[in-house]
Amino acid sequence: MAVSDSTTTTRPEIICPVPECEPSFDTLLKMPLGTAMDLFQILDCCQNLVDALIDTSDNQSRMALCGRLYAALMVLEVLLKAPLPGYLIERLTVEKAEEEGCHRPLPTDSETLRGYCAALILLLLQRQQMPEQEEQIAGLLYELIGVLNEDLKAPRFVRTADGITMISRVIKAEVH
C-alpha cells in the first residue's frame, strides 16, 4: 500500500547514484546508461565508475568497471553532440563572467578528452601491461575523467541585459 507522502520513487533503478554517497559495486554495474540521462548525470556516473576502478584490485571487478565506463563514455559521445537542455543551460549560467578568462589543464576540446579516456579504457581491457603500468594508466584515466568532468560543468554562459550569451573564453597556456 502506498503512502501519500512517501519519498520512495517508483523506479529507483533509473536514478544515477548521487556523487556524494559512494554507490556499491553492484549498483555501479546495474545502473542503466543511456541517452535519456543528461550530461551531468552521465558525468557523475563516469566519475563514480572511475573512483571505484581506482579503489578496486580484483581483476574481474576492474574489467567489469572498465566495460561500464567505456559504455558511459559512448553515451557521453552522443550527449556531447546533442543540444543542451534549458535546465542545464541555467546551471551553466553565471551572473558575472570572470575577467581573467579560463584556465584549462589541457588545451583540447571535450570530445578529444572523451576519446583519450576511451582509448585508455581499451588499453586496460586488453590486459597487456604490467601491473605497475596498469595502475599508471588507471591513474591517468582517473585524472582525465576529473578534468573532463570539471571542464564540462564549468560555467559556459553569462546573463546579460540582452539575455544569456556565451562566455568568451581565453585559454591561458601555462608552461611549468
Write the pLDDT tens digit of every residue in 89-102: 889 888 877 755 55
Contact (CB, 8 A) for 120 and 141: yes
The closest of 121, 138, 129, 17 to 69, measured between CA atoms, is 121
Count of residues in the chain: 176
What confidence tier does 105 reach under pLDDT thresholds 50, 70, 90? low
Give, for 165, the enclosing helix (H) or strand (E): strand 163-166
Sheet with 163-166, side-by-side order of all strands: 93-94, 157-160, 163-166
Q: What angle do CA 121, 126, 24 make, to 5 degrees?
A: 50
Q: What is the mean pLDDT of residues 154-158?
A: 84
Owner of C-alpha cell 549560467? 93
**Max CA pair span of the chain:** 63
The closest of 95, 97, 92 to 167, measured between CA atoms, is 97
Q: Determine the Cα–Cα distance for residues 119 and 126; give it in Å rounded to an integer.
A: 11
- Going along 10-121, which residue ranges are E strands? 93-94
What confidence tier does 24 reach under pLDDT thresholds 50, 70, 90? confident
Is residue 43's pLDDT more than 80?
Answer: yes
Q: Determine the Cα–Cα distance for residues 35 and 160; give it in Å rounded to an integer.
A: 31
Contact (CB, 8 A) for 13 and 40: no
